Amino acid sequence: MKKIVLATTLVIAASMPALAANPPPPPVQQKILLIDRQAILRFSKVGQDVARQIEAMGNQAKGEIAGQQKALQAEATQLQQQIAILAADAKAQKVKAFEAKQAGMQAAAQRKEQAIQGGFMIAQQTIAKALEPILQNLMQQRGANMILDKNALVYASPQAVQAFDITQPAIDQLNQKLPSLKVTQAAPPSAAPAKAPAKK
């Protein structure tokens, strides 16, 4: 029994120098920077350019829909006058045709809205892609290893926010790299149809 205890003691003693030679690595010190993504989209040149285009597309769509609704209302009034003198079969066909036209107009308006929203989403993704290397460079220049969105903070002192906020430098560099962006209406990325599986 004494031999076993002695052997165990010798093994532990022999391993201690090895443990001392390989101490655990020191904990990583976090240096965090802050950005405001909403402010970048709102105040950057490209963000404002995209917002103007989206607003113009929305206003144009509203104007087109208003004109179609006005024409449809006139057609509804005319249809009500005709129904009074039409036979039952003819009346049903007229009403069915009018309802189909009304549903088609609503579907077209919805597709238009989705296309504008899709164009906006794709523009946001393009801006985010252009912003990524800018943020990486700012992080390296300031010796940081993490960037957080200010809107995700639970609490921080105003002094800390001001000291670590890189929103304005990010906007300045984004203005130089991507001052404008052409928005094209498209299906939203999440609503894009799935590709058919390849035939074997």
**pTM for this entry:** 0.72
Q: Does pLDDT of 20 surpass 70?
A: no
**What are residue 165's DSSP bridge partners?**
34
Nearest 5°: the CA angle 151, 126, 143 is 55
123 inside domain: yes
Share of the chain above pLDDT 90, in %: 50
Determine phi and psi for 32, rounding to 5 degrees. Answer: -110, 140
Report yes or no on 157 lying in a domain. yes
Does any domain span residue 89?
yes
111 domain-assigned = yes
Task: Tell me, yes or no, whether 1 lies in a domain.
Answer: no
pLDDT, mean of residues 40-65 = 95
Tell me if 38 is assigned to some domain. Answer: yes
Dump pLDDT digits (tens) for 141-157.
Answer: 999 999 999 988 888 88
The token pair at 35 is: 């950005």
pLDDT the model gives residue 85: 78
* pLDDT tens for each residue of 85-140: 777 787 888 888 888 988 998 999 999 999 999 999 999 999 999 999 999 999 99
Burial grade of 197 (CB within 10 A; 0-12, 13-18, 19 or more): exposed
Range(s) of the domain holding residue 92: 30-189
The half-sphere exposure of 33 on its side-chain side, counting CA atoms within 13 A, is 21
Write down the residue that tokens 């009018």 correspond to. Answer: 98
Q: What is the mean pLDDT of residues 181-185?
A: 95
In a domain, 197, yes or no: no
Count of domains observed in the chain: 1
